Amino acid sequence: MFVKKGIVVAVSTALALGAGSALAETVIKFRFNDSEREEMRAALDEFESANPDIKVELQTISWKDARDQFLREAAVGQGPDVVHIAFVWTQEMAEAEVVMPIEELVQYGEFANGFDDFIATDLTEYEGKAYGVPWSADTWAMVYRTDVLESAGVDGLPTNWSELKAASTEVKEKTGKSGFAFAAANQIWFPVNYYLWSNGAGFVVEDGNGGYKIGVSQAQLADAMDYFKSFITDGEAPESIVTIDQPHDPTLMQALLDGNQAAALMPTNTFRQLLSAYEEANPGKPVPFASGPMMAGTGEPQTHLGGRTLVVNDSTKNPEAAWKLVQFLTSAELFEKYYTNQFPAQKSLLAQIDYRPEESGFADQLANHTRTWGAYAQSNAQMGQLWNTTSRAFSTALSGQKSSEEAAAELLSELERMLGN
């Protein structure tokens, strides 16, 4: 009898507790794709302590698959509540109707310094509405292994593409090490654009009549292909870079850490990870790295103002909790304590950053030599498709699969199709 009664009480209590916690607790999913997963989990623990009625499930997916995976899920009403995406995907997500407009979310709370405090908000706008919150800002700059440059007798850092090539050749000839190496598959998109921009060209430019046109000739494209290919054919970069997608690929990072490569280009967070890895492996030793602005061409050096955006899934059942999380993730505290490899995408927070001496190139680049994607993002061409098509075309030329002229002609014809001309 006692046993029976005990079971009834226990079951009732468990059901009551379960029902109570189910009522009190909102579970939201946050998809975060950077490598600082542990730090982010610690930050979310703090968020959960401050908001005991909200639990956050952290998901991670590789950046390479992040855009397509979310589009597939969101199209059928699934997917995480808050998603970490690239700046340039926001308009595509808005066009696909899978993310919530910010104006519907601000009813749950405003940002401390308002939405205008964020940079690059134009990239989050689609048909007059903002659909994402710029979260982290970054750009790319040059990174050098100063001891390798010194041993090759290269004085000072190169400032233009010709000097970079000369320094790279010098390193190879004097030391036998790699000069300038880069990810030549998917992310060759970035150096190629920097090369074209600094030489007055660009894949998409305004046509002066409110439309857009291709801003690069076949000869300019072939020249850019030949320039980057020369590092491989002259033996200054390993042949394996033609299948390397990311600047943080172990092959490139290890060569820099081991002092087997003199120069590279990379985003801010990758450089910070490189510095940490070196310091961890060589405690107390001076850091033999320096950063410098991107190369100049016939004009000023220019890189893109890039970064990450936070968006809220249009199918979320918990928009208020999702928005609370977005507000927490954009707080100064998060960047100070947890997300320290990244720069915040808020003007007020960017002004407070203390750069390390090795990061002076990134500071200079970010402050003086960046531009947004502008016409690229505003034209008919989808940024993602433009990026992938360009990278594939350059990769076919750099690998020797096609001649530069042939690859450039095919790329131009694809660009015409994408722009709808």
- Binding residues for another protein (CB under 8 A): 65, 68, 71-72, 75-76, 92, 95-98, 185-186, 238-243, 245, 251, 254-255, 382, 384-385, 388-389, 392, 395-402, 410
Distance CA 104, CA 182 (A): 42
In the bound state with another protein, the residue whose beta carbon lies nearer, of 71 and 166, is 71
Pairing between β-strand 26-31 and β-strand 82-86 as defined by DSSP bridges? parallel
Nearest to 178 by CA among 190, 186, 188, 168: 168
In the bound state with another protein, the residue whose beta carbon lies nearer, of 246 and 341, is 246
Nearest to 331 by CA among 165, 104, 125, 111: 111
Shortest Å, Cβ 15 to another protein: 36
Nearest to 173 by CA among 124, 254, 125, 235: 235
In the bound state with another protein, the residue whose beta carbon lies nearer, of 126 and 161, is 126
Strand partners, 118: 346
Shortest Å, Cβ 52 to another protein: 36
Tokens of 7: 């079971």
In the bound state with another protein, the residue whose beta carbon lies nearer, of 305 and 418, is 418
Shortest Å, Cβ 221 to another protein: 15
Tokens of 4: 């029976």
Distance CA 128, CA 303 (A): 26
Shortest Å, Cβ 68 to another protein: 4
Shortest Å, Cβ 397 to another protein: 7
Shortest Å, Cβ 239 to another protein: 4
Task: Give the CA distances from residue 329 to residues 47, 51, 157, 338, in Å, rounded to whole numbers and listed in that order.
Answer: 9, 13, 37, 10
Shortest Å, Cβ 183 to another protein: 12
Shortest Å, Cβ 23 to another protein: 32
In the bound state with another protein, the residue whose beta carbon lies nearer, of 186 and 269, is 186
Q: Give the Cα-Cα-Cα angle 174, 180, 181 (nearest 5 degrees).
A: 125
In the bound state with another protein, the residue whose beta carbon lies nearer, of 125 and 358, is 125
**What is the CB neighbour count within 10 angstroms for residue 227?**
19
Shortest Å, Cβ 409 to another protein: 10
Residues 6+ apart with CB under 8 A from 123: 87, 88, 90, 91, 134, 309, 372, 373, 377
Q: How many CA atoms lie within 13 A of 162 on its CB side?
A: 4
Residues 6+ apart with CB under 8 A from 293: 141, 142, 159, 301, 361, 364, 365, 368, 369
DSSP string for 139-176? -EEEEEEHHHHHHTT--S---BHHHHHHHHHHHHHHHS
Distance CA 166, CA 236 (A): 11
In the bound state with another protein, the residue whose beta carbon lies nearer, of 89 and 343, is 89
In the bound state with another protein, the residue whose beta carbon lies nearer, of 57 and 258, is 258
In the bound state with another protein, the residue whose beta carbon lies nearer, of 139 and 382, is 382
Shortest Å, Cβ 241 to another protein: 8
Q: What is the 3-state secondary structure (H, E, C) of 221-289?
A: HHHHHHHHHHHHHCCCCCHHHHHCCCCCCHHHHHHHHCCCEEEEEEEHHHHHHHHHHHHHHCCCCCCCE
Cβ contact 136:159 at 8 Å: no
Shortest Å, Cβ 179 to another protein: 16
In the bound state with another protein, the residue whose beta carbon lies nearer, of 303 and 396, is 396
N- to C-terminal Cα separation, the chain: 84
In the bound state with another protein, the residue whose beta carbon lies nearer, of 81 and 92, is 92
